[in-house]
């Protein structure tokens, strides 16, 4: 709130006038913007027309340029420039066209005839060659046909006799008889293929059953091996933890051996007695009560003094003071009631510590009594499964010999009854089906037998080892549980007591703070009430004289001074006693902490030893498990190896039998395929009628040879006539081409002239319209003016909305009663604001002046440093690649000013950064010169310059020039009282160059004796 009611009304009126003014300005701006839009549209239309003309000019120019280049190329390519007119050239061209056309027509006819004769000759030659080949093939085919028939009959006889396929008719066979016999052979081949496929399927089933048994045994072996590895890793981890715990225990024992526990207990008791004595002394003095009484007396005196002062100064009573006095009294009574309520004993909440209940071990002893029965049942089940597996394995081994006997001797293996072909096939099929089903059954039996055997081994292992060990562990764990529960009860009791005390203190913190705050507020209100009452009493009484009041004030002031001195003495005594008590308490707490630390170390030793015992028990258990696993993995390895060998032997055996039967089938298949190929070849010869074709081809061959000789004679005649016509055509074409080039050159030249005239016409049109750049500049200017008008319009709209908002807000504020006595607050805030602004302006001027002065100082010092660096470099450096060096500073920010510095080297007009571009010697020399320059510039009152190994990485000339530079510096500074140069170096040559009698009388040499002790010896300069 910064305005009162008249100002608000005045503000509403002023905002209304400004609103009307803004509305009129906005209307004028709208009219200007509309006019500006019309001008912009006209200018954009004109610019589009100009750009279109510019595009046409660019297109015509490009076209003229290409055609002009073509004219130049055509002119350069002319063999002869003809000066005849275009009509004469066109007439010559038409005549040459007619002659060339006649010649080309004649040449085309000759070429076509030549091509026809060539094609005919080529066709005849191909026909003759093909006929000769075909005749030879047909003659050979006739001879092979007869040979193939005899071979076919021999193969049929051989197959029937070899495979006992039945009786045969007399040879040679006709085609129908041979085909019938071949069908009988193919039928037998299909039966053999069917037997081969059944054999393959039965082999696969038997191999799969054997491999599944091996994989089952292998999985069990892998599982036990994985358990062994896990137990070994667990054992290594336990051993490592035991070693760590032993190291930890040793460290604790070392700490305990260095501590005297009895001495610590004695010190704690003595300090506790001393602390209690000091506390009793402090409590007996009752400093707080005495101080409060003195403060209350002092407060009463202050109130009386203040009342007398007010009575002396007050003149008239004021109703406003009475109202304020009543309010203050009411507020004082309220605070006193709150304070009395805070002094009532606080019912502190007691937090109960909830103890976590330990879950007792549920000893499941059930099942131990029935263990022998379970073990006996597992053993019987294992024996039954093994018996079933052995019976099934014996039956499976009988199927394969039965099949081989039936196939070899064609009899029943049991009763030796002869088999027919169908009975034999049915018996073999039945045996294979049984073998397949028995393999599946054996696989199931092997898995069941393995599971029962493993179950029995686990139960037996429980009987021998695990159950007795578990009973021992259970007893030990029960004893350890009782000890842990007792220790836990003790710890929980101590913890509950400590927590109760802490909760009591925590609950008192907030009420104490509140009571202290209320007490301070009561004192402040009492002072205010006393002031008001004193003022009113003086105004009402007015009976005492000024001299009486002043004498009473002096007496009260003397009493107040006495009370202040007493209070100060009490505070000093209290502080001294509290300081002594706090010192003793700190010492006592330190000893108690040391004692607690010793107790913690002892508990850690005990805990570590218990942990080591537990880990040893775990290690023994893991070693026992490893032993059992090692015993179990042996039989499994043997069983796995046996099953794998059985599988490999069975695979080799079955593959051998299958390969024998497959070889027999393949041989018969090859013989049948050869026979079928003979049949197809014989049938193909008969179907193609190759005998009749042989006679027809021989007659056609004679006729084609006669026609070929006639074609060769005509070809020679055509070649002579064709060469003559081509020479004549080339001459005529050369003359015509020369005429065409002249005509084309003249045509292109005319087109170039026409394009030139069109371009000039378009450029004249552009100039008349004013030019593109001028129009674009005008359009840009109009757009900028329009944007500025829009910006002004938007600004006026924003200002208008602000004025309207102010009017509405001020009208609403006029309806509220918030401006009573606002002038005083307004002027106070205004004075504070103006004072702050003036202070900020002064500080800103001081900051800028200081920053400018620092910048001038930095620039001046950098120029001075670079000047000294340049002189020293040119005096010292003996190379020719660097003229001088300098330090360049860059400002990194505009806020808190900071600089980054770079060392630059100057070579001619080139300026490069030295980082990464200079040698080690140049770096050392540059650093020395920069240090010398900084010392020359800044060290005016402390002229000590220390150089440690300044010739490191410097060559001879640069080392000598550095010595010369140091000599010059010493010469220039010899009149300065506080200048001193300290050089530490191993380079004796350098030391001799700078160590001259006129600058120093001696130098110091440092060496080491036989015990590696440093020896400092003073040496004369010329020694």
User: What kind and span of H or E run contains 345?
Assistant: none
Q: Tokens 């029962």, residue?
A: 452
Q: 779 and 880 share a domain?
A: no
Chain centroid to Cα 583, Å, comes to 57
| Separation of alpha carbons 304 and 1003, rounded Å | 84
Residue 866: per-residue pLDDT: 92
Other Cβ atoms closer than 10 A to 798 = 10
Find, among 198, 210, 201, 215, the residue nearest to 650 by Cα.
Answer: 210
Residue 355: per-residue pLDDT: 41
Residue 348: per-residue pLDDT: 42
Q: 855 and 987 share a domain?
A: yes
Which residues, listed in sequence order, are joined to residue 1017 by a DSSP beta bridge? 1005
For β-strands 980-984 and 944-948, DSSP reports them as parallel
| Separation of alpha carbons 872 and 972, rounded Å | 13
406 located within any domain: no
Residue 517: per-residue pLDDT: 67
User: What kind and span of H or E run contains 726?
Assistant: helix 690-769
HEC sequence for 102-158: HHHHHHHHHHHHHHHHHHHHHHHHHHHHHHHHHHHHHHHHHHHHHHHHHHHHHHHHH
401 located within any domain: no
530 located within any domain: no
* Burial of residue 321 (number of CB atoms within 10 Å: 0-12, 13-18, 19+): middle
Residue 170 is given by DSSP the state P
Show Cβ contacts of residue 836 under 8 Å, excluding neighbours closer than 6 positions.
Answer: none
**How large is the C-alpha radius of gyration of the chain?**
64
Show Cβ contacts of residue 769 under 8 Å, excluding neighbours closer than 6 positions.
Answer: 46, 49, 50, 53, 775
| Separation of alpha carbons 809 and 627, rounded Å | 95
Give yes or no for a contact between 951 and 987, defined as CB atoms under 8 angstroms apart.
Answer: yes
344 located within any domain: no
Q: Tokens 């913690």, residue?
A: 600
Q: What is the pLDDT of residues 443-472, one digit of tens each?
A: 666 777 677 776 667 666 666 666 667 677
| Separation of alpha carbons 890 and 888, rounded Å | 7
Q: 916 and 792 share a domain?
A: no
Q: 800 and 852 share a domain?
A: no
| Separation of alpha carbons 710 and 117, rounded Å | 10
Q: 794 and 927 share a domain?
A: no
| Separation of alpha carbons 775 and 132, rounded Å | 92
| Tokens linked to 284 | 């007996």
Q: Enumerate residue ranges in the chain where pLDDT < 50.
A: 2-4, 315-319, 344-368, 538-543, 1023
917 located within any domain: yes
| Tokens linked to 608 | 């570590």
Q: 864 and 717 share a domain?
A: no
Residue 886: per-residue pLDDT: 92
Helix, strand and coil content of the chain, in percent to the nearest 5, comes to 80, 5, 15
Q: 27 and 96 share a domain?
A: no
Give the dihedral of Cα atoms 539, 545, 551, 557; nearest 10 deg. Answer: 10
| Separation of alpha carbons 550 and 309, rounded Å | 9
Residue 119: per-residue pLDDT: 81
Other Cβ atoms closer than 10 A to 739 = 21
Q: 864 and 1000 share a domain?
A: yes
| Separation of alpha carbons 450 and 220, rounded Å | 9
628 located within any domain: no
SS3 of residue 689 by DSSP: coil
| Separation of alpha carbons 629 and 626, rounded Å | 5
Strands (E), 801-898: 884-891
Angle between helical axes of 287-313 and 546-688 (0-180°, round to 10): 110
Other Cβ atoms closer than 10 A to 1022 = 10
| Tokens linked to 771 | 């030019």
Sheet holding 884-891: strands in order across? 884-891, 899-907, 910-913
| Tokens linked to 444 | 């199931």
Q: 929 and 1001 share a domain?
A: yes
Give yes or no for a contact between 883 and 870, defined as CB atoms under 8 angstroms apart.
Answer: no
| Tokens linked to 337 | 């009631």
Show Cβ contacts of residue 953 under 8 Å, excluding neighbours closer than 6 positions.
Answer: 919, 920, 921, 923, 924
Give long-range contacts, CB 8 A cutoff, 24+ apart: 663-668.
664/192, 665/189, 665/192, 665/193, 665/196, 668/159, 668/163, 668/188, 668/189, 668/192
| Separation of alpha carbons 519 and 299, rounded Å | 14
Give yes or no for a contact between 793 and 33, defined as CB atoms under 8 angstroms apart.
Answer: yes
Give yes or no for a contact between 327 and 521, defined as CB atoms under 8 angstroms apart.
Answer: no
Give yes or no for a contact between 379 and 455, defined as CB atoms under 8 angstroms apart.
Answer: no
| Tokens linked to 899 | 């600089």
Q: 928 and 858 share a domain?
A: yes
732 located within any domain: yes
| Separation of alpha carbons 969 and 947, rounded Å | 14
SS3 of residue 952 by DSSP: coil
Q: 927 and 1006 share a domain?
A: yes
404 located within any domain: no
For residue 865, what are the domain limits?
A: 848-1020
Q: What is the pLDDT of residues 409-431, one digit of tens each?
A: 777 767 777 777 677 777 777 77
For β-strands 884-891 and 944-948, DSSP reports them as unpaired
Overall domain count for the chain? 3
Q: 97 and 57 share a domain?
A: no
């Amino acid at each position: 709130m910064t305005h009162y009611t008249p100002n608000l009304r005045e503000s509403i009126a002023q905002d209304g006038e400004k609103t009307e003014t803004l509305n009129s300005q906005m209307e004028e701006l709208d009219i200007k913007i509309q006019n500006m839009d019309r001008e912009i549209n006209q200018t954009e239309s004109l610019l589009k027309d100009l750009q279109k003309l510019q595009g046409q000019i660019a297109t015509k120019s490009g076209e003229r340029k290409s055609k002009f280049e073509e004219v130049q190329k055509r002119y350069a390519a002319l063999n002869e420039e003809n000066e005849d007119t275009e009509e004469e050239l066109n007439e010559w061209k038409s005549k040459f066209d007619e002659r060339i056309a006649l010649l080309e027509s004649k040449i085309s006819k000759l070429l076509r005839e030549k091509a026809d004769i060539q094609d005919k000759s080529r066709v005849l030659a191909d026909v003759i060659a093909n006929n000769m080949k075909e005749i030879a093939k047909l003659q050979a085919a006739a001879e092979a046909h007869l040979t193939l028939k005899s071979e076919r009959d021999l193969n049929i006889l051989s197959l029937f006799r070899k495979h006992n396929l039945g009786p045969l008719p007399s040879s040679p066979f006709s085609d129908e008889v041979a085909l019938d016999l071949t069908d009988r052979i193919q039928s037998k081949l299909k039966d053999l293929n069917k037997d081969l496929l059944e054999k393959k399927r039965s082999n696969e089933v038997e191999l799969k059953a054997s491999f599944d048994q091996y994989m089952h045994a292998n999985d069990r072996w892998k599982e036990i091996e994985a358990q062994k590895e896990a137990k070994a890793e667990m054992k290594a981890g336990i051993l490592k933890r035991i070693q760590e715990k032993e190291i930890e225990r040793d460290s604790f024992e070392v700490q305990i051996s260095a501590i005297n526990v009895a001495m610590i207990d004695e010190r704690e008791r003595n300090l506790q007695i001393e602390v209690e004595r000091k506390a009793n002394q402090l409590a007996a003095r009752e400093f707080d009560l005495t101080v409060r009484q003195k403060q209350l007396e002092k407060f009463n005196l202050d109130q009386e003094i203040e009342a007398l002062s007010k009575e002396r100064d007050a003149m008239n009573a004021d109703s406003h003071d009475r109202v304020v006095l009543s309010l203050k009294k009411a507020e004082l009574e309220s605070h006193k009631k709150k304070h009395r309520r805070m002094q009532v004993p606080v019912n502190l909440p007691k937090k109960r510590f909830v103890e976590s209940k330990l879950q007792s071990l549920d000893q499941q002893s059930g099942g131990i009594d029935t263990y022998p029965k379970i073990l006996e049942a597992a053993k019987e089940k294992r024996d039954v499964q093994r018996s079933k597996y052995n019976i099934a394995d014996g039956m499976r081994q009988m199927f394969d010999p039965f099949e081989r006997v039936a196939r070899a001797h064609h009899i029943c293996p049991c009763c030796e009854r002869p088999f027919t072909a169908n009975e034999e096939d049915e018996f073999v099929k039945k045996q294979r089906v049984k073998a397949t089903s028995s393999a599946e059954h054996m696989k199931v039996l092997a898995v069941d037998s393995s599971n029962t055997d493993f179950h029995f081994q686990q139960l037996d292992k429980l009987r021998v080892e695990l159950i007795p060990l578990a009973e021992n562990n259970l007893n030990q764990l029960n004893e350890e549980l009782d000890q842990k529960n007792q220790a836990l009860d003790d710890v929980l009791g101590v913890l509950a007591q400590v927590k109760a005390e802490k909760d009591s203190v925590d609950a008192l913190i907030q009420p104490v703070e509140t009571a202290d705050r209320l007490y301070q507020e009561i004192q402040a209100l009492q002072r205010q009430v006393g002031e008001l009452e004193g003022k009113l009493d003086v105004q009402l009484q007015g009976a005492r004289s000024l001299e009486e009041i002043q004498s009473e004030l002096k007496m009260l002031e003397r009493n107040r001074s006495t009370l202040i001195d007493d209070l100060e003495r009490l505070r000093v005594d209290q502080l001294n006693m509290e300081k002594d008590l706090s010192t003793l308490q700190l010492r006592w707490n330190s000893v108690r902490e040391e004692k607690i630390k010793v107790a913690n170390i002892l508990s850690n030793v005990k805990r570590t030893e218990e942990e080591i015992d537990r880990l040893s028990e775990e290690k023994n258990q893991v070693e026992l498990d490893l032993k059992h696993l090692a015993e179990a993995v042996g039989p499994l390895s043997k069983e796995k190896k046996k099953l794998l060998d059985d599988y490999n032997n069975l695979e080799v055996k079955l593959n051998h039998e299958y390969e024998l039967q497959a070889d027999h089938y393949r041989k018969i298949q090859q013989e049948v395929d050869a026979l079928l190929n003979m049949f197809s070849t014989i049938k193909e010869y008969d179907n193609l009628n190759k005998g009749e074709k042989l006679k027809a081809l021989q007659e056609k061959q004679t006729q084609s040879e006669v026609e070929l000789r006639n074609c060769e004679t005509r070809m020679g005649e055509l070649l002579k006539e064709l060469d003559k016509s081509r020479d004549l055509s080339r001459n005529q074409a050369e003359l015509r081409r020369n005429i065409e080039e002249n005509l084309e050159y003249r045509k292109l030249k005319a087109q170039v002239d026409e394009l030139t005239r069109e371009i000039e016409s378009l450029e004249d049109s552009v100039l008349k319209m004013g030019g593109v750049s001028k129009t674009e500049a005008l359009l840009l200017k109009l757009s900028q003016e329009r944007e500025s008008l829009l910006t002004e319009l938007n600004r006026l709209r924003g200002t208008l909305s602000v004025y309207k908002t102010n009017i509405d807000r001020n009208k609403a504020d006029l309806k509220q009663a918030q401006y009573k006595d606002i002038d005083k607050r307004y002027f106070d805030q205004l004075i504070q604001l103006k004072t702050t602004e003036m202070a900020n302006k002064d500080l800103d001027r001081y900051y800028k002046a200081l920053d400018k002065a620092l910048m001038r100082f930095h620039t001046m010092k950098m120029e001075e440093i670079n000047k000294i660096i340049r002189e020293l470099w040119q005096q010292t450096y003996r190379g020719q690649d660097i003229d001088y060096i300098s330090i360049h500073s860059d400002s990194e920010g505009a806020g808190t000013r900071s600089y980054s510095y770079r060392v630059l080297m100057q070579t001619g007009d080139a300026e490069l950064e030295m980082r990464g571009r200079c040698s080690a010697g140049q770096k050392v020399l540059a650093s020395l010169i920069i240090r010398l320059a900084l010392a020359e510039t800044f060290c005016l009152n402390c002229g000590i310059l220390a150089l440690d190994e300044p010739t490191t990485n410097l060559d001879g000339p640069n080392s000598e020039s550095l010595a010369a530079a140091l000599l010059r510096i010493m010469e220039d500074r010899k009149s300065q009282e506080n200048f001193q140069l300290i050089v530490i170096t191993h380079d004796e040559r350098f030391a001799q160059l700078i160590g001259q009698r006129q600058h120093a009388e001696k130098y110091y040499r440092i060496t080491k004796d036989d015990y590696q002790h440093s020896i400092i010896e003073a040496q004369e300069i010329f020694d």
